[in-house]
A and B are shown apart, each in its own frame.
Chain A
Amino acid sequence: MSAADLELARRMLAGDERAFTEMFDGYFPGLYRFALARVGRDEDAAEEIVQATLVAAIRKLSTYRGEAALFTWLCTFCRHEISAHWRRTRRAPVELAEDDPLVEAALDAEMAIEREETARLVHVLLDRLPPRYAAALEWKYIDGLSVQEIADRMALSVKAAESTLTRARDAFREGFAILTRARAAGEGS
């Protein structure tokens, strides 16, 4: 159950412009990357698919009940649009490791995953986090910003920024652990 996502959907249904901006800015880039990876890096196709995805999702927004995170729910629409794309083009779809439950734990360091694929999966994981968590992690560990600088960017106090960073790390660690456990379960079965 995602109360924050449900509230965001409710505000969008009520016509709140801020909610629309929050949804679009928070989820469009991740959704685009989700589609891009599945259409053989065809940027025009990804754009078309994500636009169709968001339009379809907005039409069905009143049916969103918050059972899954909003991004997960949007990905369901996106998968449908990607399938339609491959049907239209009469070509074989791109198959990705993380779409197969048995190899969903491909993030496990013991597996011989190509470096690029690992990076892509980390990006997938970041896209699944709340946008401000992902931004905080990137600023801290990729851009090397100090907590003070992160606080400035997020318009937060240093204490609040530290707290956000801690929650972001926990969420990242938890996401990573889920992938690892899923892999172990796949191997054991």
Chain B
Amino acid sequence: MTERDPIEALLKDSGRRPGVDSERTRRVRDAVWREWRDGVARRKGRRVLWAAGLAAAIVVAFALGTIGLREAGPSPAGVRVDRVTGMDSLPPGTELLQGQRVATGPSERVALRAAGGHSVRLDLMTALRVVSGTSFVLERGAVYVDSGEHAPGGPGIRIETPFGAIEDRGTRFLVQLATTGLSVRVREGEVSVDDRGRRIAIVAGEAVRIDPSGEVERSIAPDDPAWDWVRDVAPAIAIEGRALGEFLDWAARERGVALRFESPSLAEKARGIELRGSIEGMTFDEAVDSVLATTGLRHRWEREALVVSAP
């Protein structure tokens, strides 16, 4: 008879530690976070005022200028809600405040429009805090960033996580946070991860996992279902008056594939077709199917392309 490992026996007999209700956790976390944030702001304010006081001994006018350093309440971050699925409490158009926390439940997703025009999308069971118009803290879950036509070199998006801060450089990328590690996948462009002073560059097609000890595993980003959810909450584009070609470019980009026409003349035709109506409220697949159905063209999804063909 095999003797049981005493540690295994003790743990197995004792069972898992009881968890804490998520709503209680959220309430306490919010209250403690506010206290912590206020404390940090007060300390920084004291440092600023101390420096100002020293300068006042030399130039009185400078000290008067510090009166304006009083803390203000939360101000709009320049981030608004673009689209939600499965959630009523945060309607599209809502302006978010600095410090505001957005949390999604098991059937909710949210797309935000950041100050620079980037699309920032939250998956199910995700919590994201807005620091500024372009800076966020990912507390749990997964977030996808699409910088769209945003020029590389402009103000990018910064996502802070317990395992490092990710900064985009004109790109599309996915960040998944677990309590025990961070995963970053880049679909287009390049991002950098600042992990305690060490910078890790990740280019299109790569995936990187970082564990709490800082160990990095680099691999080819798999084309797997991990990307699929980002389409579910993709903000719909206004199609009224837009060329079919533009719509197809958008659809292919959202899916992360190339757009291919079966003939050059078909591409020319698609550029000339002007769309009418709206795809508001439709899922991504419904929108593509509906729009293509009105144009008389056919389409199919291949592994790496959206292929448009004549009937």
Chain A interface (Cβ < 8 Å from any Cβ of B):
12-15, 17-18, 20-22, 24-25, 28-30, 32-33, 43, 47, 50-51, 54-55, 58-59, 61, 115, 118-119, 122-123, 126-127, 131-132, 134-135, 137-138, 140-143, 153-157, 160, 169, 172-173, 176
Give chain A nearest CB distance to B29 CB in angstroms: 6
Contact of B212 with A21 in the complex, beta carbons under 8 Å: no
The smallest beta-carbon distance between A105 and chain B, in angstroms, is: 15
Contact check, A154 vs B212: say whether CB atoms are below 8 A apart: yes
Contact (Cβ within 8 A) A155 B131: no
Instruction: List B contacts of A154 (CB < 8 A).
Output: 180-181, 211-212
CB distance from B50 to the nearest CB of A (A): 16
Contacts of B43 in A (CB 8 A): 13
Secondary structure of the A side of the interface?
Answer: helix
Question: Given the known A-B contacts A160-B215, A169-B7, are A126 and B17 also in contact in the complex, defined by CB atoms under 8 Å?
Answer: yes
Instruction: Pull 12 A–B residue pairs with CB atoms less than 8 Å apart, ordered by A.
Output: A18-B163, A28-B25, A28-B29, A29-B20, A55-B31, A61-B39, A122-B11, A123-B14, A123-B17, A154-B212, A156-B215, A169-B7
Q: Which of B11, B129, B212 sits near A137, CB closer than 8 Å? A: B11
In the complex, which residues 246-267 of chain B have their Cβ closer than 8 Å to any Cβ of chain A?
A: none
Contact of B215 (CB < 8 Å), options: A24, A29, A54, A157: A157
A21 and B211 in contact, given A51-B32, A122-B11 (Cβ under 8 angstroms) = no
**Alpha-carbon separation in the docked complex, A24 to B20 (Å):** 13
Closest to B11 in A: A141
CA A173 to CA B31, docked complex, whole Å: 36
Interface size class of B (residues with CB under 8 A): 35 or more
- Does B13 contact A20, Cβ atoms closer than 8 Å? no
Residue of B19, B21, B31, B212 contacting most chain A CB atoms (<10 Å): B212
A122 near B179 with CB under 8 A, answer: no
Residue numbers in A under 8 Å from B160 (CB-CB) = 17-18
Query: What 5 A-B pairs come out closest when comparing CB atoms?
Result: A155-B181, A119-B14, A154-B180, A122-B14, A15-B40
In the complex, which of the residues A54, A59, A122 contacts B10, with contact meaning CB atoms closer than 8 Å? A122
Find A18's partner among B15, B17, B27, B161 (CB 8 Å cutoff).
Answer: B161
Contact pick for B13, options A24, A119, A155, A157, CB 8 Å: A119
CB distance from A71 to the nearest CB of B (A): 14
B217 in contact with A157 (CB, 8 Å) = yes
Complex contact B183–A127 (CB within 8 A): no
A119-B178 in contact (CB<8A)? no
Q: Which residues of B contact A43 (CB under 8 A)?
A: 21, 24
Number of A-B contacts (CB under 8 A): 132
B139 at the A interface (CB under 8 A): yes
B162, CB-defined interface residue at 8 Å? yes
Q: Please tell me if the beta carbons of B32 and A21 are within 8 angstroms of each other in the complex.
A: no
Find chain B residues with CB under 8 A from A25 CB: 162, 179
Given contacts A33-B17, A59-B35, 17 further A-B contacts (CB under 8 A): A20-B33, A33-B20, A51-B31, A54-B28, A55-B35, A59-B39, A119-B13, A122-B10, A126-B17, A142-B16, A143-B16, A154-B212, A155-B181, A156-B180, A156-B211, A160-B211, A176-B10
B20 and A155 contacting across the interface, CB-CB below 8 Å: no
For B8, list chain A residues within 8 Å (CB). 140-141
Alpha-carbon separation in the docked complex, A43 to B180 (Å): 28
Greatest chain A CB density within 10 A among B16, B32, B163, B211 is at B32
CA distance A21 to B131 in the complex (A): 14
In the bound assembly, the distance between CA atoms of A61 and B40 in angstroms comes to 11
In the bound complex, how far is the Cα of B29 from the Cα of A28, in angstroms? 9
Bound CA–CA A137/B10 (angstroms): 11
Residues of B within 8 A of A134 (CB): 17
Of the candidates A12, A29, A132, A141, the one whose C-beta lies within 8 Å of that of B17 is A29
